[in-house]
Amino acid sequence: MSVTETGATIWLTGLPSAGKTTIAYELAGRLRTEGHKVEVLDGDEIREFLSAGLGFSREDRHTNVARIGFVAELLAANGVKVLVPVIAPFADSREAVRKRHATESTTYLEVHVATPVEVCSVRDVKGLYAKQAAGEISGLTGVDDPYEAPESPDLRIESHQQTVQESAAALHALLTERGLA
């Protein structure tokens, strides 16, 4: 039996290569060790399995975020801590997910992994910044496509100023403060 059956969606938003997924998996491991039910809804996996066929237009991005939000809310409503490391570049899309959670009385926390684009482009985990710079792709969030940073997230993580473990610990502290860990 889990330590707690209170589920929640924890959405980690930020630029590509900001550290969202790395932090999510670090926190997931810690939460599982403590006995929590945890799922990570990785954006790349979601695009492959749940949102195949969607492109990167504003409408398709909104649809992708709405689908992820729907699945996250279902899991969270059933006692799972759902970590969602997904860019979700538009504030209105994130707000729609927040409102759905509120309607269902399910906890939703927004975490902004606020890594500057200059740091992300050096990290360039998937080579996207290099491809964009070479003219091979366009529409890269935060470079030639918009990213609307959250104005008042539940937590802002400056991942370029601390280790992955410190970032995950800060998020764990927020969950503890909110009675979720």
Residues in binding site = 14-21
Q: Which residues are annotated as part of the binding site for ATP?
A: 14-21
Number of H helices, E strands in the chain: 7, 5
Percentages of the chain per state (helix, strand, coil), in multiples of 5: 45, 15, 40
DSSP class of residue 159? G
- Which residue blocks in 34-163 are alpha helix, DSSP H? 43-49, 58-77, 91-103, 117-123, 128-133
* d(C-alpha 154, C-alpha 166), whole Å: 17
